């Protein structure tokens, strides 16, 4: 089961690599990247609310659930600040950032992807991967791959080096995805609920800190509508 979980996490992270390929082949507009990012934000918010927190709530006392949520957000914010000082603060900027550090972007993408991959792996324990969560991760990774790849290539990185960087992120994501089922397969339900809540807090902090602000910088007044459309689409698919 942990191999299946790791495979799904790697597949979702591959959208980072595909974003880099899209930049090389099609050179998508900054606005397109921002639109996909806003839609992905809405999808991820719905996934956090209905796939993570809602599933964790019956098994986890509310005070521990809240502690785990806040802890996840705190860990992400502190990690993101450290990576920002290294040059990875604008890793999701739709227009790219030429002064970003490749190492910091890779570390930032791993920081963004760890809670996503871990939870995606945990959903396998429930009988199958969550399609809503998988779609949300792909829609958040794809524009990040486009934006970061564009900035790195503008700053002189070769396309092959960018692909190798994303390859390392895919491997890290696969390990994180496999880790959940491997460690928690026989653990009590509360332990899985705490991990889900922790990851949910980190994901919410990531969406608010990086995805929505970067999208708003380009889309402005349409960002809110796009986020809600992503959220509504996820609810609709989940009701089928």
pLDDT band at 115 (very low <50, low <70, confident <90, very high): confident
CA angle 84/8/4 to nearest 5° reads 130
pLDDT band at 136 (very low <50, low <70, confident <90, very high): confident
> Which pair of structure tokens corresponds to residue 125?
């324990």
pLDDT above 70 (res 98): no
Instruction: Please state whether 187 falls in left (phi above 0), alpha (psi between -120 and 50) or beta.
Output: beta
Average pLDDT over residues 86-109: 76
Instruction: Please state whether 129 falls in left (phi above 0), alpha (psi between -120 and 50) or beta.
Output: beta
**Per-residue pLDDT at 64:** 93
- Enter the pTM of the model: 0.86
d(CA 28, CA 24): 9
| DSSP-derived secondary structure for 50-83 | IIIIHHHGGGS-HHHHHHHHHHHHHHHHHHHHHH
- Within 48-188, where are the H helices? 54-56, 62-83, 102-125, 131-154, 159-184
- Mean residue pLDDT of the chain comes to 87
> Which pair of structure tokens corresponds to residue 53?
């927190």
Cα dist from 63 to 53, 69, 184, 204, whole Å = 13, 10, 21, 18
């Amino acid at each position: 089961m942990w191999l299946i979980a790791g495979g799904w996490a790697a597949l979702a992270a591959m959208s980072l690599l595909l974003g880099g390929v899209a930049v090389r082949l099609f050179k998508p507009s900054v606005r397109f990247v921002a639109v996909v990012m806003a839609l992905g934000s809405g999808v991820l918010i719905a996934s956090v609310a209905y796939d993570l927190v809602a599933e964790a709530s019956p098994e986890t006392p509310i005070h521990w659930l809240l502690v785990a949520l806040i802890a996840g957000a705190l860990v992400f914010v502190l990690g993101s600040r450290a990576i920002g000082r290294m040059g990875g603060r604008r890793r999701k900027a739709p227009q790219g950032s030429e002064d970003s550090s490749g190492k910091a972007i890779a570390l930032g993408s791993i920081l963004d992807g760890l809670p996503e991959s871990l939870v995606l792996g945990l959903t396998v324990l429930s009988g199958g991967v969550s399609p809503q969560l998988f779609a949300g991760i792909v829609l958040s990774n794809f524009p990040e791959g486009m934006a970061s790849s564009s900035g790195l290539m503008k700053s002189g990185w070769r396309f092959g080096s960018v692909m190798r960087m994303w390859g390392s992120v895919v491997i890290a994501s696969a390990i994180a995805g496999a880790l959940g089922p491997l460690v928690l397969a026989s653990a009590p339900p509360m332990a899985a609920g705490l991990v889900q809540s922790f990851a949910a807090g980190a994901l919410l902090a990531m969406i608010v800190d990086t995805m929505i602000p970067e999208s708003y910088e380009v889309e402005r007044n349409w960002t809110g509508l796009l986020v809600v459309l992503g959220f509504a689409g996820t609810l609709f698919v989940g009701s089928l």
